[in-house]
Amino acid sequence: MLSRADTHRLPLVLGFAVFLIAVFLLVPFLISVTGRWNFYFTLTSVALLSVASAGVWLTFYIGRINIGQGAFALIGAYVSAILVTKAGVSFWVSLPAAGLFAGMVAIVIGLPILRLRGVYFAMITLVLTEVVRLTALALPITNGAKGIVSIPLPGELSLFGITIIPDFATIENPKLAFYYTACVLMVVCFASMYRIVNSRLGQLCRSMQQNEELASSVGVNIAYLRVIVFAISSFFGGLGGAMFGAIAQSVYPSSFVVKDSIDFMLNCFLGGLGYVFGPMLGTLVLYFGWDLLFELGRYQLLVYSGTLILLILVLPNGLLSIRFDRIRGLWK
Amino acid sequence: MEQVIVNGVYLGSQYAMIALGLTLIFALMNVLNFAHGQMYVIGGFVTYTFYGQFGLPFVLALLMSCVTLAVLGALIEKFLFGPVIRRSAREESTMLLAAGIAFLLDAVILLVFGEKQRGVPKIVDGVFNWDFRIIIPYDRILICFLAILSIVAFISYMQFTRTGRALRAIAQDRVAAELMGVNVNRYSMIGFALGAMLAGLVGGLLVTITGVNLGMGGPTSIKAFMMVMIGGAGVISGAILGGFILGMLEAVGLAVLSQYGDITYLAIFVALMIFLAIRPQGLMGKPWG
């Protein structure tokens, strides 16, 4: 006999299982059947970009518009690349290190700038993206405009002599390996996001999103909370960026620019700010849509932006709001 | 040093005009207009078409830029921003729309005007030379003068006309303005058109000096955001001040820091971040405006 909480959770668990099967079995199967191997790269990018977008979504969750995720993705990519090429560290160690470093930078920068709100915060994070790009151009360790190239593929990861992840250079199909790695990263990231949102921390975030003064007056330590959330958000950004650098095997100052920062934000908006899985759907639609429209040539941007504007006009609260409205309509 | 100051004033006068349009739109609608840079580029291309290709007088071409952008701005407000602001749950959703419009305008510019760099013949020939201490072409002086004239005209329009008073009332408090009988929807449209028109005007003015190309839109928007932040969002005096300060910083930075490589903008950005950490609302802004 299932308890009430379990029956409540059942659709969620089922949905999660279906999602896992689709991502890890169905997609590779369909790709091998149709032979569109280039889709692997697209879908891997979608998975990684959605990880970074998830971070942006989390800052939205405390009521801040974050247009600076490109900065943290770039920081992550550089930290991982420098660790792998210059210090000879294994990629699997550099990946969390990149995330942690991005998180630490976020704490240092976040302490002053998280005092800003609304468009002020949005604009200063936008400026932050430019700052990081220009810093990467100016610093000697990042190798300026030439960037860091020919980064080796991720090596073997073994624990107590047991190989957990084989060396990517020896795998006959590294594209598939990257796809699986990116998807695992995405699943773990969104699962932890779901956990955060449905925890005490998530409730505190919601109270902040509604009214910061009120939350603070009932004893929520908002100064601490917003820095923590910003650090988590940037951690995701750093992870996504580091993995992206490993796939491209190169990092340039122009790897993540203002356009990318804006894209991360748009992914969240398009998916819907009220839904944890919004950024994933938003990234899929925006990135995949752009790729599919490639065949239109010079009309690509026109059709893309036109569709985007239409979507906003029809669903101003994000793609996922469509389901929400219909269910509520049925209840009435 | 005199040369640096003159360069700063020249840059500042154009920047102030761009920032004015952006801040006006922000004050009225609480919309961060990502497409502002693209509007500026369209203004440049319209002037290029009428003055450079059809051979019409420059003033007439400039007028065409203003009219085109004003109509465009009004349409965008009426059919895009207005409905979305009314219907979305969170105000920030307009940012997605603004970015979408920026992409759309980029696409339109690409299809209509192409991706080449375009320039027009000089409007005035000759170079002003004061004892080799200040060297500045006459056309730059003229453009700078026209820009300052437009700023003065804009401020007097906002101060002394009925429309200007209504716009200022909406910027101060939208609900109160509506209660006092201001037709908020109509004046929002007029305000958006006015902001877009300013972008078009400065685009038209600058095409005579720097020319115009498709890629100028995005960087212009970022610069405009910076100026608005320096001065304080939604405040007219702040936008003008921010424009002149950024122009000055850029001129001084290029003169002083050029020996250390291309770090002028890095220095400006870092200074801006420190400044905003100390004074979040900018020089003239109201807190959390």
Q: What pLDDT, on a 0 to 100 scale, did the predictor assign at position A1? A: 47
Q: Is A78 on the interface with B (CB under 8 A)?
A: no
User: Is residue B208 a part of any domain in this protein?
Assistant: yes
User: Is residue A2 a part of any domain in this protein?
Assistant: no
User: Is residue A227 a part of any domain in this protein?
Assistant: yes
Shortest alpha-carbon distance between residue B259 and chain A (Å):
13
Nearest CA in chain A to B270: A131
- In which domain, by residue range, is B33 found? 18-214
C-alpha to C-alpha distance for B275 and B283, rounded to whole angstroms: 10
Burial of B7 (0-12, 13-18, 19+ CB in 10 A): buried
Looking only at the bridges linking them, the beta strands covering A162-165 and A157-159 are: antiparallel
| Confidence grade of residue A4 (pLDDT, cut at 50, 70, 90) | low
Number of domains in chain B: 1
Q: Is A210 on the interface with B (CB under 8 A)?
A: no
CA-angle at A197, arms to A193 and A199, nearest 5°: 115
User: Is residue B132 a part of any domain in this protein?
Assistant: yes
* CA distance readout (Å), A104 to A99, A205, A278, B275: 9, 20, 26, 22
Please indicate whether, in this complex, the C-beta atoms of B269 and A127 are within 8 angstroms of each other. Answer: yes
Q: Quick one: which of A218, A188, A185 has its CA closest to A204?
A: A218
| Confidence grade of residue A141 (pLDDT, cut at 50, 70, 90) | confident
Nearest CA in chain A to B109: A302
Shortest alpha-carbon distance between residue A305 and chain B (Å):
5
Partners of A302 on chain B (C-beta within 8 Å) are 104, 107-108, 111
Percentage helix, strand, coil, to 5, in chain A?
Answer: 75, 5, 20
User: Is residue B126 a part of any domain in this protein?
Assistant: yes
Please indicate whether, in this complex, the C-beta atoms of B270 and A317 are within 8 angstroms of each other. Answer: no
Please indicate whether, in this complex, the C-beta atoms of A113 and B277 are within 8 angstroms of each other. Answer: yes
Partners of B271 on chain A (C-beta within 8 Å) are none
Shortest alpha-carbon distance between residue B141 and chain A (Å):
31
Please indicate whether, in this complex, the C-beta atoms of A305 and B262 are within 8 angstroms of each other. Answer: no
User: Is residue B180 a part of any domain in this protein?
Assistant: yes
What pairs with residue A165 in β-bridges?
A157
Shortest alpha-carbon distance between residue A306 and chain B (Å):
6
Scanning the structure block, which residue is given the tokens 């429309």? B163
Q: Is A112 on the interface with B (CB under 8 A)?
A: yes
Instruction: Give the Cβ contact number of residue B264 at 10 Å.
Output: 20
Contact A108, A128 (CB under 8 A): no
Q: What pLDDT, on a 0 to 100 scale, did the predictor assign at position A122? A: 85
List the single range of A149-163, A258-272, B59-73, B80-94 with lowest mean pLDDT.
A149-163
Chain centre distance of CA B190: 17
User: Is residue A276 a part of any domain in this protein?
Assistant: no
Nearest CA in chain B to A113: B277
Of the candidates A265, A274, A298, the beta carbon closest to that of B110 is on A298
The percent of residues above 70 in pLDDT, for chain A, comes to 92
User: Is residue B275 a part of any domain in this protein?
Assistant: no
Partners of B92 on chain A (C-beta within 8 Å) are 60, 65, 269, 273
Of the candidates B110, B229, B262, the beta carbon closest to that of A301 is on B110
Amino acid, single-letter form, for residue B62: L
Nearest CA in chain B to A124: B273
What pairs with residue B118 in β-bridges?
B212
Of the candidates A123, A135, A298, the beta carbon closest to that of B229 is on A123
User: Is residue B191 a part of any domain in this protein?
Assistant: yes
Backbone angles phi, psi at A159, to 5 degrees: -125, 125
Partners of A305 on chain B (C-beta within 8 Å) are 100-101, 103-104, 106-107
User: Is residue B232 a part of any domain in this protein?
Assistant: no
Q: What pLDDT, on a 0 to 100 scale, did the predictor assign at position B208? A: 85
User: Is residue B5 a part of any domain in this protein?
Assistant: no
Number of domains in chain A: 1
Query: What mean pLDDT comes out for the span A237-260?
Result: 89
Scanning the structure block, which residue is given the tokens 């004050």? B27
Q: Quick one: which of A169, A154, A167 has its CA closest to A98?
A: A154
Q: What pLDDT, on a 0 to 100 scale, did the predictor assign at position B231? A: 86
| Whole-complex ipTM | 0.80
Of the candidates B89, B110, B272, the beta carbon closest to that of A317 is on B89
Please indicate whether, in this complex, the C-beta atoms of B276 and A138 are within 8 angstroms of each other. Answer: no
C-alpha to C-alpha distance for A303 and A324, rounded to whole angstroms: 27
Q: Mind listing the pLDDT tens digit of every residue in chain B (289 residues)? A: 788 888 888 889 988 999 999 999 988 888 888 899 999 999 999 999 998 888 888 899 999 999 999 999 999 999 988 888 887 777 777 888 888 899 899 899 988 888 888 888 877 777 877 777 778 888 888 888 999 999 999 999 999 999 999 999 998 888 898 899 889 889 999 999 999 999 999 999 888 888 888 888 888 888 888 888 888 878 888 889 999 999 998 888 888 877 776 788 888 888 888 888 788 788 887 764 4
Q: Is A87 on the interface with B (CB under 8 A)?
A: no
- The residues, any chain, with a CB within 8 Å of residue A282's CB and separated by 6 or more, are A50, A53, A266, A267, A268, A269, A270, A271, A272, A318, A319
- Quick check: A162 pLDDT over 80? no
- In which domain, by residue range, is A183 found? 21-270
C-alpha to C-alpha distance for A101 and A107, rounded to whole angstroms: 10
Helix axis angle for B93-113 and B36-47, nearest 10°, is 20
Of the candidates A127, A269, A273, the beta carbon closest to that of B226 is on A127
Shortest alpha-carbon distance between residue A253 and chain B (Å):
13
Scanning the structure block, which residue is given the tokens 């207005």? B82
Please indicate whether, in this complex, the C-beta atoms of A131 and B261 are within 8 angstroms of each other. Answer: no
